[in-house]
Structure formats: structure tokens, C-alpha cells
Chain A
Amino acid sequence: MTVTLDRPDAAPSAGASGRSRVVAFWVVAVAVPLVFLGLFFAWPVVEMIAKGFVVDGHLDLGGFADVFSRPRTWRIIGLTLAQASLGTLLSVALGVPGAYVLYRHTFRGRTLLRAFVTVPFVLPTVVVGVAFRSLLVSGGPLGFLQLDGTFAAIVAALVFFNYAVVVRAVGGLWERLDPRAEQAARALGASPWRAFRTVTLPALTPAIASAASLTFLYCATAFGTVLVLGGLQFGTIETEIWVQTTQFLDLRAAAVLSVVQLVVVAGALAVAARARSTRERALALTLPDASVRPLRLRRPAGMPAGDGHALTLVATTVTAVVVLLLALPLVNLVVRSLRTDAGWGLDHYTALGTTGGALTVTVWQATLNSLRVALDATVIALVVGGLVALVVSRRPRRAIGRRAVVGLDALFMLPLGVSAVTVGFGFLLSMHHPFGLPVDLRTSPVLVPIAQAVVAVPLVVRTVLPVLRAIDPRLREAAATLGAAPGRVLRTVDLSIATRSLGLAVGFAFAASLGEFGATSFLARPDRPTLPVVIFRLIGRPGPESYGMALAASVVLALLTAGIVALCERLRAPGAGGEW
């Protein structure tokens, strides 16, 4: 074999120009997301909050005293915390057995069931609200419970929405957890329950804590669902910001509440970040095949009583009940959308081709509009979120660099929880003659996709980042020693591997954008409403026709979202899940 050493002598100057290109790339990678979020997130939010605190050019914090002296404020804060805590507690209590059944066992239809429990999570919040109302109103299948417009209904809807967050996060870790630690505990004399409590549960705690804090975040900032279900009696800080802004035109109160929400969100995010960093510490992980067992309802032959079969049965029963409860509002929504005055029929769906006498466009036009906007928003979110994930996945050598990365990570998570209503209204305030330019961006059609992209960026980051972080840095080193320049390493290692999770990121971004309601409700122009905006308008109108149309439109929106996520999830490689 001949070996040719045909290599140009590595001149330092060539290295230097290469290095400046690398530096330039990273500067751009950091700058693009920073500018985007600064312009379309920080600035509108600051503008909105400033409206409340700057009076005649002077800082006036009197708003705090005023707003906090109102009993209504304290009631709303109390309600927000109560429903978020309860919703989180229930989601975790039901989600952990669900994770055990769906990720630690195999059975026929498991893939389908896993996909099914994810459906509520990607459903637009307005649809969840409508589905629950149609279930609980007097005359609905559960009308006899008289839960319509109650606190319990809101909590149930929040659990419905967040069950999948817990199942996916905990299950993803559980299926890779090395079962031998638990087996060692059993061999040391621990009962199945004690082994679970003392060995497995502590190992799962980071995933549980991370999922719980995310669930808390989603519950505390819930908008569409609560607005539809809560009526005037119940609300969150988020709906209250909306009420204060649009109904009472009290910007000061809205600004104070935005700050309160920011504090709550920052707290939840801090807990999430801590939980994540513990989670990324090395756990004894294995391949799923090593830990997954077939699900058996009867105790298998040769397995003595008291060997943990009862635990499996309890978890299976709980999960089966939950799955039925998850299906109930969805099935009911479809059934009710098909019921007409004259019995059954597609009348409500036919009506989607009309404006229903109240809308500015037909529902189909609004659907098309939603899809177009979502496509734009997804592209923006992918570019920005992808760059953020890339930057944050680096582990710089110097401590100051590492701290900067942690800071960026937290910064880019903020849109996840900051009031979408605040963002939407802030857009209206800041995009009117931005920077004193004689243009009014408020009427520009680009605002809606941008606002939706702001909401979708954290989802993209959370999906792609864990995959990038899991890449062994030595893989990049191996590529470099084979002669790959930094750009090629990025393309052939980072990008190649991250692409496998990109399908899911696209799905989530698209779903988030399709269902976005908080910011869009402010920004959508009257002649170009999106589907959630149209649905909300329809349920606000009296009359069974409008309500029927709202149901049919909700089914369409739900099918679109679930279909797109299912499609995207099929595109990803197994195990490239990230955190969801």
C-alpha cells in the first residue's frame, strides 16, 4: 500500500484567516438571536411595562401600591398559583404511572397510545377550552356534574393539556435508566415498592422536577383555555392582563401584573434550569431494549406474588382511566360538531365556507391564513432557535464563557413564560413608528408570524439543545483530527446529528404557532384573522349556529395540528427526542 503525504505545509497565516471566519460565524450566531429577541421580545415588553410606570416622563411606581391594594389582584394571584400548583401536582401524580406503563413496557398499540397522549399538548389552547366546555355545559355528556365555569374544570383542562409533558419527560429518562440499580436494591432485601421509592424515584427526580416546573409554567401562564373556561369569575394573571388592557384600558395595572408574572415565570424557570443541570449529570443509562418488558395483566408464570406485579397493575389501571378521560373531550368535540338541529350532519362543516354572518372572512380562509402564518413563523423560529441551541450547546474553556452560555440559555427561555398578551400588546405600542421611523409596522402582515416565532423559539431550543449537548465533544475532535475545518465539523457532526430531532422541532414550532392566541389576538388584522381568533370570536357570539361552527372549526384546527406533529414525529430518528 502506498502512502502519499501530499499535504501543503500548514502555514500559520492560513490558520489565522480560518480562525477569523470561525469567530465571525459565532459572532453572527450569537448576534442574530440576540437582535431578534431584543427587537421583538425585550423591546415590546419593556415598552408595555414602561407605559405603566412612566407618567409624564417620570418614573412612577405608584402603580404597584394601587394595584396591590385591590382585592381583585390578590384573588387573581392566588387563583393563578392555586390552579398552577394543583394542575402540576395532578399532572405529576398521573404522569409518572403513565410514563412507567408507556415507556417501561411494550404492548400492542404502544406507539399509537404514546402519540395519542401527546395530542392534547399540541392542541391549541382555545380548542382545549372549547372541547371542555362542550363536555361540561348543561346538556353536555358531563353536564350533570355542574362543573361548567368552575375552578375544577380549569384544573382538569390544565391537567389534560400537561399530562403529556410529564409522561414524555419522565418516560424518556425512565426507559433508559439502567434497571440493575433497582435489581441490586431488590437483591439487598428491598420490596418492589421500597426499591422504587429509594432507588428509581431519586434517579427520576431531575426529570420529574424539570417536567413539573415546565407544567407549572404552562399552567400559570395559561391564557386561551382559561379565558374560554373561566368566564369572568376565574382567571390567571395572563387573562387578567388581557382584561385590564382590552376591557378596562388600565395599562398601569396590566404593567404591574406583567412584572408579577415575570417574577413567577423566572422562579419556575430557575427551578427548571437547576433540575436540568442535575439531569445532565451522568446517570447510569442504558439502551431502552435492556430495560423494557412486555406488559402483562396476569402475573406471568414463575413470578412469585409480591414481586411488583401489583404495582404494574395499579399503574396500568390509572393510565387506562387517564387515557379514557383524555379521549372523552376529544371524542365529544367531534360528536357535538356533527350534531345539528335536524339530528346529525355535516352542516357545521359546510358553514365553515361562510362567514357565519359575523366574521370578516370564511373559516377556510382563516385556516389558510393560519397555515401561511405558521409556515413563516416556523422558519423564523427554526433559524433563531437553531442558532440559540448551537451557541448554548458549546462548553467554552474559560469560566467567563461558560457563564455567558448559561446566561444566554436562561435569556432565551424567557419567552416561554412571559405573557404572550404583554408581547402582543407591546408590539402594538412599539411598532408604531419604531425608532421614530415614519412607518407604522402595526399594519404589517409580518408582525403576526414574528410574534408567533417568539413564542415558538423556546420549544425549538428545548427540542434541539439536549440532542446537541449529548454529542460527545471528542466526536468533534475526531472530525478535526481527520482534517475537517470547523465549518465542516459543524455541518457533518452537529448538524447531521441535530437534524434527527429537527423534525420534532418543526412539528412543535408549527403547532405552537398554529394555536398561538395570546399575542395573535392583538396583532391579527381584522381582514386576516387566524383560526384560533375566529374560533374565539365564534364562541363569543350567541346562537347555536355560531357555536356549531366553533366546534367544527376546533375539530379542523385540532386535526391540522395533531396531523402535522404526527407527520414530523415520524420523520425523526428513534431516541432523538430531547426533552419532550
Chain B
Amino acid sequence: MRSGLSLRDVVVRYGSVAAVDGVSLDVPTGSVVALLGPSGCGKSSLLRAVAGLEPVEGTVAWDGISVAGVPVHRRGFGLMFQDGQLFAHRSVGGNVSYGLPARSAVRVAELLELVGLAGYESRAVATLSGGERQRVALARALAPAPRLLLLDEPLSALDRALRERLAVDLRAALVATGTTAVFVTHDQDEAFAVADRVAVMASGKLLQVDAPADLWSRPASREVASFLGYEAFVPLDSPAAAPLREAIGARPSPATLALAEGAFVVGRSGVAKGTVRGVSSRRGRSEVRVDVDGIGVVTALGPVGGRWAAGDVVELAVDPDALAVLDD
């Protein structure tokens, strides 16, 4: 018997359109899996189907027992929405205690402390900031100790700094409570920060399921690689790929080499040359769009304070961590 959640050939249809098209996935007890994909890929539909909010074909099982006949409120699967969906007519404490038996003030206090909102019990929901609302929503979802917590883009509505901070807090809260969770997001950084394993989804199908580091270094296909942020693809045996091959110690083969942003680094000396097309800056570091012969326009990283103009020819070094060989 498998422990935790197992999905087999799950299909979710809206009318004649299959939003989820034959997905099989296992989420062992205590682990956190992120469902990563572009908007409209069916990841939220899959989540809602697991929660029991959409009719589903195929098997959704917990500890090997199908939950097909079990209504939403008996599944013991919690769900946290993108916009929280807090009950505006209840206080913060009233929201958190919703899924708890009566007189669980101590537990409410514990949960609010866990999400960093100790003492917020009697506050009105309308007085909370966006980040505080999501923290309350998380505390509320964790309160009944769901055997599985489903999180539907819980951080997407927040601004970036807050999102990055909350992603860390979220991971900490899930680990602290030992909660099994499925986390839906379209942001790969978020997925990598929160999840033990990441499942990449597109057009209703799962493309690859792996630990974050493995996913990054060995994307299963060009589609997965593009979604993770790999921006250029060259055959491993092409002449332009020679300096890259050297950097990772690969031999020429018909396989494809994928280059992420920063595969090239602008420096005084290098192994390749590129023509500058444009420059932008992110967090102080320069990002230089360079045109490399035989590869195309890619984003190279430059040192802080570097100055280039369009048309300059620059020397490029290679960062092997931003390169991946695709199997197909």
C-alpha cells in the first residue's frame, strides 16, 4: 500500500475540453510537491479535483483507498486559495477556528503564532494587509490538521519581496507541522523554495517530476527547460557549442544543450565572443543581451558597474551551472 496521495490517470473535463489529461502522481506522506506550469495548464483544475470540487475521471486515492465517493468536507484535504477567501464576516480568530471543534482558543493562538500573527485573534479581516490575510488563510487551512494541504497559488497576489519572504515562512510552517502538501504555482523560484519535489505541467499533462536540483540540472525536455528559464538550445555537436562542451566535459553527440540566463559571463578574457544588443540591470548586476555566433541572442551576466553600448564586442566566459544536456 502506498502512503499519502496517489493519482492515477486523472482527467478533469470542462464540457468537452480536458483541462487535466491523464495525470499520475504520488505525494508521499510528509512531503511537499509543487505543481509548476504556465497559467491555463490545468494545475489549478487538478488541485480542485483532488479536493473534490470538480468531477474527476481516474483514481484519486489516499493511503491506497480511493476517495471517489467521499464528499469534500470529509476528505480531510485542506485547500488554501490564491486570494485567501477569508470569511469577512468573522474575525481572524473566527476564521482560524472555523475548522476546529468549539473551545480551541489555545490551538488558534498556537497557529497564529506559527504564522507570525500572535495576538491577532479579535482583529477584523478587513483591517489586514494582503500578506497578513494569506498568513491567516494558511493558519486557517492548517488548523484542522488536514492529512493533505492543497495550496492554489497562495502567494501570487502579493508583491515580490513579500512573496519571497512568505515562501520561506510557508516552507517552515509546512515542515514544522509535518504537513503533506501540494502547492500550485507558476513561479519556478517559489516552487523551488517551497517544495521537496516539483512536477512540471503543461496542457493538462505532467512533463517531469523531480527534486528541484535534479529538475534544474536535468530537464527532461525542451518544453520543461524553456519553462524553467532555459533560453537557448543548440545541438551538442555544433561548432558553436564547443566551448560549452568543454566547460561541462561532455562529448559531442546529437543531444541538445540548453543555456539558461547567465550561461555566459561577460569578462576581460573568455572562451567566446558576442555582440552586445542591449543592457539592463537586475539587483545591481548587469544583464547583457549578447548575440553569439551559432547560438543566437542570450542573456549574459556582467559585473556590477559594467558599461557597454550596443554593438560592442565582448569576451564571454562560461558558467557550467547554467547549462543542461537534454535527453531528447
Contact = CB atoms under 8 A, between A and B. Distances in A.
A475 interface: yes
Instruction: Output the residue of B48, B71, B89 with the most chain A CB within 10 A.
Output: B71
A7 B73 CA distance: 12
A15 B81 contact: no
A483 B177 contact: no
Looking at chain A's contact residues, the main secondary structure is helix
Nearest to B140: A482
A282 interface: no
Contacts of B273: none
Contacts of A478: 79, 81, 85, 87
A499 to B, nearest CB: 9
A485 interface: yes
Contact of B99 (A9, A472, A483): A483
Contacts of B51: 477, 481
Given A4-B145, A9-B65, A481 B73 contact: yes
A483 B85 contact: no
B137 to A, nearest CB: 8
B89 A477 contact: no
A475 B87 contact: yes
Interface string A102-128: 000000000000000000000000000
Nearest to A475: B85
A484 interface: yes
A547 B8 CA distance: 82
B299 interface: no
A5 B146 CA distance: 7
B160 interface: no
Interface in A1-52: 1, 3-5, 7, 9-10, 12, 14-16, 18-19
Instruction: Output the residue of B79, B85, B141 with the most chain A CB within 10 A.
Output: B85
B110 A481 contact: no
A459 to B, nearest CB: 24
Contacts of A482: 73, 78, 98-99, 140-141, 143-144
Nearest to A12: B69
Interface string A381-424: 00000000000000001000000000000000000000000000
Given A477-B79, A483-B99, A14 B74 contact: yes
A548 to B, nearest CB: 50
Nearest to A487: B73
A489 B53 CA distance: 14
A497 interface: yes
A481 B72 contact: yes
A475 B89 CA distance: 11
Contact of A7 (B98, B147, B178): B147
A480 B52 CA distance: 10
Given A7-B147, A481-B78, A482-B144, A19 B71 contact: yes
Chain A interface size range: 20 to 34
Looking at chain B's contact residues, the main secondary structure is loop
Contacts of B65: 9
A6 to B, nearest CB: 8
Contact of A496 (B53, B89, B176): B89
A483 B144 contact: yes
Interface in B59-95: 65, 67-79, 81, 85, 87, 89-90
Nearest to B137: A478
Contact of A493 (B79, B87, B114): B87
B110 A1 contact: yes
B286 interface: no
A94 to B, nearest CB: 35
Contacts of B79: 477-478, 481
A281 interface: no
B87 to A, nearest CB: 7
A477 B177 contact: no
B74 A1 contact: no
B71 A15 contact: yes
A474 interface: yes
A397 B55 CA distance: 10
Contacts of B76: 5, 7, 10, 483
Contacts of A205: none
Contact of B147 (A5, A472, A475, A500): A5
A486 B79 CA distance: 16
Contact of B98 (A12, A492, A500): A492
B179 interface: yes
A472 B74 contact: no
A185 interface: no
A19 B70 CA distance: 10
A479 interface: yes
Chain B interface size range: 35 or more
B147 A15 contact: no
Contacts of B179: 3
Nearest to A7: B76
B162 to A, nearest CB: 22
B53 A477 contact: yes
Nearest to B66: A12
Nearest to A489: B73
B206 to A, nearest CB: 23
B85 A485 contact: no
Given A482-B78, A486-B73, A3 B178 contact: yes
Instruction: Output the residue of A12, A484, A485, A496 with the most chain B CB within 10 A.
Output: A12
B89 A480 contact: no
B89 A474 contact: no
Instruction: Output the residue of A1, A18, A481, A488 with the most chain B CB within 10 A.
Output: A481
Contacts of B78: 481-482
A421 B55 CA distance: 49
Nearest to A397: B55
Interface string A270-285: 0000000000000000
Nearest to B81: A474
Given A1-B114, A3-B145, A3-B177, A481 B77 contact: yes
Instruction: Output the residue of B75, B77, B150 with the most chain A CB within 10 A.
Output: B75
Contacts of A18: 71, 74
Interface in B88-120: 89-90, 98-99, 110, 114
A480 B48 CA distance: 12
Contacts of A500: 89
Nearest to A16: B69
A481 B87 CA distance: 14
Nearest to A9: B65
Nearest to A478: B85
Contacts of B77: 481
Contacts of B114: 1
Contacts of A481: 51, 53, 72-73, 75, 77-79, 141, 146, 150
Given A474-B85, A477-B51, A478-B85, A484 B67 contact: no
Instruction: Output the residue of B73, B98, B150 with the most chain A CB within 10 A.
Output: B73
Nearest to B77: A481
Contacts of B144: 482-483
Interface in B139-176: 140-141, 143-147, 150, 176
B89 A484 contact: no
A15 to B, nearest CB: 5
B110 A15 contact: no
Instruction: Output the residue of A19, A475, A489, A500 with the most chain B CB within 10 A.
Output: A475
Contact of A10 (B70, B85, B89, B98): B70
Nearest to B150: A481
5 contacts: A5-B76, A5-B147, A15-B69, A482-B98, A492-B87
Q: 5 tightest A-B contacts by CB?
A: A482-B99, A12-B69, A481-B79, A480-B72, A10-B74
Given A481-B51, A482-B78, 16 more contacts: A3-B179, A5-B76, A9-B65, A15-B69, A15-B70, A15-B71, A18-B71, A474-B85, A477-B48, A477-B53, A477-B79, A480-B72, A481-B141, A482-B99, A488-B73, A489-B73
Interface of A: 1, 3-5, 7, 9-10, 12, 14-16, 18-19, 397, 472, 474-475, 477-486, 488-489, 492-493, 496-497, 500
